[in-house]
Amino acid sequence: MGKVLSKRFWRVALTLTFATGCGIGSVGAQSDGTLIEDNRDEEPAFAIAPSGEVEGAYFAVTMEPGDTQTLTASLVNAAETSLHARTFAADAYTIVNGGMGVRDDGSEATEVTTWIAYPAETLTLEPKSTIERSFTVTVPDDAPPGQHLTGIVLQTAEPLPVPGSTTFNQILRKTVAVFITVPGPVQPGLSIGEVSLAPGETWNALRVEVANTGNVLVRPKGTVVLRDGSGSIVLTAPVAMGPVYAGDGTTLEIVISDPLPPGELAVEVELIDEARGLAVTAGGSVTARMAGAADSSPPVVLGEVAVAAVPSSEAIQYLDVGVRIANSGAPFANARVILHVQRDGEVVEDFPLASSLALSTGSTDVVQRYVPSGGWVPGSYAFALTLETVDPASGVAVVVAEARVDGVVTVP
């Protein structure tokens, strides 16, 4: 059990990124902690698609090694107000349970993304307007046969308020796939890797690593079975994944809401893709804990903490404070991150970096600007962070993770 703190209430904006409109598969939502105010009320209505096509279509071309083609994308603003937007190309990947995701702006371009010449740009789309943007695709001379995938994104340049909420901001994004087929032998492949169980307070997540070892996408279907020590079936779950793209891997995740018997459980996985002529099976084991039992390692960790003076430590205006929250357990809601500030060994304040924070399983990034409430005073500033869960009824907070920031910031 963590430390119980006194009742405190904070309010701060949290930015989310919502991704929609992808041509192949679907794109999930991911958290983004950038905090930028925006007072626009109208929800943007925009799209990106191949020229002459409707939203949801995607680029599909067949090209020989060494070939170059020019493609054209339509960037559409269907709203009555102008749209400040950002467009860029980024690597595509297979999301959990299948489907297409696209990396964030500024991520390193690798493999297929390097084949397309689509410079990143920040632009303004006038009301009820469309911009045609041409780009080239050049397939390398040594490109192997098979299917190759990347993506192009159109998103709001800054976070916007969520309608009806004073707590959340959002970055809206639309994506379109660029799906390139290099002719040659079709070699489908599928493999099953490790299985694991992520325990939560009220449910468990069974995870199975799945890899596409071939050169064309597959759509695995099948069954996952759990058996107890006596061989009795504890769970039978049907599986129907979205696309798993060529040469990529992902996780099959099954949420189990019913309690599992404590102890070791055998896992049997069967996946098939009839269209590709694939059928694979694999086994493994996981350990289910007794309800209420504690894990040997903390499920939540505050990692990759960074504090940077802006514009510089010699002429500081504010600090950019960022932290990556790694949650290996079940999702939980109503968390908050507190920045504890000291100057020359004396407490300055406890500053809320984020509150009303819903943490999914996986990584969540929180980024916030910090300026002391009393302004900057000369001295050496040291920082620490705590992650707390808050009971919405009582307001009682429990510390679930802590981290100390290495080094100090000196204000002359």
User: What are the domain boundaries of the chain?
Assistant: 15-182, 191-288, 297-411
Q: Which of these CATH numbers, 2.60.40.10, 2.40.50.100, 3.50.50.60, 1.10.3720.10, describes 15-182?
A: 2.60.40.10
Please count the other Cβ atoms lying within 10 Å of the Cβ belonging to residue 408. 15
Q: Which of 158, 169, 5, 24 is nearest to 85 (CA)?
A: 158
User: How far apart, in Å, are the Cα atoms of 1 and each of 11, 293, 298, 400?
Assistant: 26, 11, 11, 8
pLDDT value at residue 85: 94
Please count the other Cβ atoms lying within 10 Å of the Cβ belonging to residue 168. 17
Residues 6+ apart with CB under 8 A from 165: none
Q: Which of 30, 142, 51, 183 is nearest to 93 (CA)?
A: 30
Q: Enter the CATH code of domain 297-411.
A: 2.60.40.10
Residues 115 and 137 sit within 8 Å (Cβ to Cβ): yes
First to last CA, the chain: 42
The pTM for the full model equals 0.63
Mean pLDDT of the chain: 81
Residue 245 to residue 243: CA distance in whole angstroms: 6
pLDDT, tens digit, 9 for 90 and up, residues 200-259? 555 678 889 999 999 999 999 999 999 999 999 999 989 888 899 999 999 888 878 778
At the fourth CATH level, which superfamily is domain 191-288? Immunoglobulins (2.60.40.10)
Task: Name which of 167-176, 212-221, 238-247, 292-301 the model is least confident about.
Answer: 292-301
Residue with tokens 């325990």: 199
Look at 97 and 3; give whichever has higher pLDDT: 97
Rg of the chain, C-alpha, whole Å: 24
pLDDT at 300 over 60: yes
pLDDT at 167 over 70: no
Look at 89 and 160; give whichever has higher pLDDT: 89
Please count the other Cβ atoms lying within 10 Å of the Cβ belonging to residue 215. 20
pLDDT value at residue 200: 59
Residue 54 to residue 176: CA distance in whole angstroms: 11
Q: What is the β-pairing status of strands 121-125 and 83-94?
A: antiparallel
Q: Which amino acid is at 136?
A: T
Point out which residues pair with 223 in neighbouring strands: 238, 270
Residue with tokens 């204000």: 411
pLDDT value at residue 91: 94
Residues 354 and 14 sit within 8 Å (Cβ to Cβ): yes
Q: Which amino acid is at 67?
A: D
Residues 370 and 351 sit within 8 Å (Cβ to Cβ): yes
Task: Name which of 1-15, 63-77, 168-182, 363-377 the model is least confident about.
Answer: 1-15
Helices and strands of the chain, counted as H and E runs = 0, 29
Task: Name which of 157-166, 200-209, 257-266 the model is least confident about.
Answer: 157-166
Residue 30 to residue 12: CA distance in whole angstroms: 19
Q: Which helix (H) or strand (E) holds 14?
A: strand 14-20
The percent of residues above 70 in pLDDT, for the chain, comes to 82
Residue 402 to residue 301: CA distance in whole angstroms: 8
Q: What is the β-pairing status of strands 332-343 and 59-62?
A: unpaired
Both tokens of residue 217?
A: 């996408």
Task: Name which of 111-120, 172-181, 369-378 the model is least confident about.
Answer: 369-378
Task: Name which of 2-11, 35-44, 120-129 the model is least confident about.
Answer: 2-11
Distance of CA 366 to the CA centre of its chain: 13
Residues 9 and 397 sit within 8 Å (Cβ to Cβ): no
Q: Which helix (H) or strand (E) holds 174?
A: strand 168-182
